[in-house]
Amino acid sequence: MPFQVINSQPQLIAVIEQCSAAPVRYLDTEFVRERSLYPQFGLLQISDGNQVWLVDPLGIDDLSPLWQWLQQTDQLTVFHAFGEDLELLWHEGKIQFGNILDTQVAAAMLDWGSGMGFAALVERVCGVELDKSHSRTNWLARPLSEQQLQYAADDVHYLVPVAEALITELKAKGLYEACMNECSRLAARKDKSLANRYLDVKNTWQLNRQQLAVLRELAAWRYQRAMAKDMALGFVIKDLALIALARSQPESMAKLKQLNDVSPIEARIHGSKLLSLIADAKKIDKADWPEQIYRVIDIPQYKQRSKALAQLIQQQAEQADIPAPALASKRLINELLMWHWQQPKNDDKPVLLSGWRGQLVGETLTQWLATNC
């Protein structure tokens, strides 16, 4: 498949003008993410269904025309497994996609396979076995070889027939709008506040409310430092160390160094700052402590209720001719039970009672919750 490398702004603007005339744009990204907090942008692949362009972000000083174009929703945007792609584009240009389709989501909804890889989809639709030998390429290195560039180009070249086949079947089964609704939900992006970064730390349920107040301050500091250094969170200080510090709340360097889950290097580099943060956090008024965090297994009769709800979901999925995992994953079932159990309930409805799922099974699930929980 021929392709053109784009490494100047005039070339980029010309591509945007040409591709804007097509009803669909097919996209993929290549990046490097090893020790950094954010993915490091290496390449953007674009197709209008006929041609393929490889945009080199390292060769273009001003990418603002690209961000303005990607922000527009007139065209359908197609990705495969867009999670990390959207994270990258949100960080780089605050791109919020609306009219978007993820071929992995579409394949799951059609029961082709849950979490289906792109190579498997291409083989199913096109009968072509993709060469994945360049999947671990350093996309920040220059120059990229012809083979590496061809590998990148293939990802959007074959995305075209894959998406077309999936869209055709989705429409034939009456599932296209539901799939688009789901993709828009999954594509929604927003910045999480520093005050809520503690919710990303593992095992927060082990802490009481006062300890969570300390963890909140520690996690906010960690994230700020990670942003300043563009360093993965775990390379600043690990989750286990934050939990140990929030639980024990040491008042001296000697006591801090006694914590098994705080490494010597973490104590040496950050010890003084951590002690200061803990001392200040201990002064937080009780009224400002975070709410207690619960696990789904803390819900009374969780196993029985979860199993019964899964059986109901299975019945509803069969009636709608949708794979049960696509209708309700275990995570979504747990979210529904936790939302119903917690008092007072959150203002935001759980996913299973919203959007296309809410229209399909919302009333049935609401009735079940009222009589079984």
Question: Is 54 buried (19+), middle (13-18) or exposed (0-12) by CB count in 10 A?
Answer: buried
Given the residues 30, 48, 182, 217, the one annotated as active site: 30
**Whole-angstrom distance, CA of residue 192 vs CA of residue 290:** 16
Question: Is 202 buried (19+), middle (13-18) or exposed (0-12) by CB count in 10 A?
Answer: exposed
180-to-106, 167, 176, 326, 336 alpha-carbon distances in Å: 9, 10, 6, 13, 22
Given the residues 26, 48, 56, 85, the one annotated as active site: 85
Write the DSSP assignment of 133-150 as a string of letters: TTTT--TTSSSPPHHHHH
Given the residues 48, 56, 102, 155, the one annotated as active site: 155
Going by DSSP bridges, is the β-strand pair 76-79/4-6 parallel, antiparallel, or unpaired? unpaired
Q: Is 61 a catalytic residue?
A: no
Q: Is 151 a catalytic residue?
A: yes
Given the residues 26, 151, 158, 176, the one annotated as active site: 151
Using CA of residue 349, residue 355, residue 356, residue 358, what is the dihedral sign? positive
256-to-27, 236, 240, 341 alpha-carbon distances in Å: 48, 16, 14, 38
Which residues, listed in sequence order, are joined to residue 47 by a DSSP beta bridge?
A: 26, 52
39-to-31, 232, 309 alpha-carbon distances in Å: 6, 10, 38
Cβ(290)–Cβ(212) below 8 Å = yes
Going by DSSP bridges, is the β-strand pair 52-55/4-6 parallel, antiparallel, or unpaired? parallel
Q: Is 230 a catalytic residue?
A: no
CA atoms within 13 A on the CB side of 78: 26
Q: Is 30 a catalytic residue?
A: yes
Cβ(78)–Cβ(55) below 8 Å = no
Q: Is 129 a catalytic residue?
A: no
- Catalytic machinery residues: 28, 30, 85, 151, 155
